Amino acid sequence: MTIKNPSAVLFACTLNAIRSPMAAAILHRYCGAKVYVASCGIAAGDPDPFVGMVMDEIGIDLKTHRPHSFEDLEDSAFDLLITLSPEAEKRAHSMARTMAIEVEHWNIPDPSHASGSREQILDSYRAVRDDLVKRVKARFNV
């Protein structure tokens, strides 16, 4: 059974530096205070400056985001956990064995593996951002 309107959503990826903070910020933009949104990673990575740049382009400020891990979460009462990397998906399924939480996996590529010019790399980040916007709008009917 799919939760149509969860009250608390956690996005998780590998390092909480790119995909999960982008997804959380996008959902927050569209749902505001109607949904509690958080993000984390298997481990806390380093902030990624490209994330701030491409999110600024759509009016979302993520320049002050500091990555954190599952262990750093202040709350664990989430209705829905959306994983954005295979590593996070494994962790989520182990959590779901002991918690009442629905898990969904969105296969989102890691743009940090992109190569080429600065603009080509930024285009990879933009593609991830735009894919996340599309998926959030579809999943949460916003």
- Provide the pLDDT for residue 107: 93
Question: How do residues 33-57 score in pLDDT, each as one tens digit?
Answer: 899 999 999 999 999 999 999 999 9
Contacts for 105 with CB less than 8 Å, ≥ 6 apart: 82, 83, 84, 89, 92
The Cα 41–Cα 46 span in angstroms is: 11
Phi, psi of 10 (to 5 degrees): -115, 125
Q: Which DSSP symbol is given to 113?
A: G
Phi, psi of 39 (to 5 degrees): -145, 155
The rounded mean pLDDT for the chain is 93
Domains in the chain, CATH or no CATH each: 8-140 (3.40.50.2300)
Cα dihedral 119→124→129→131 (10° resolution): 140
pTM value? 0.93
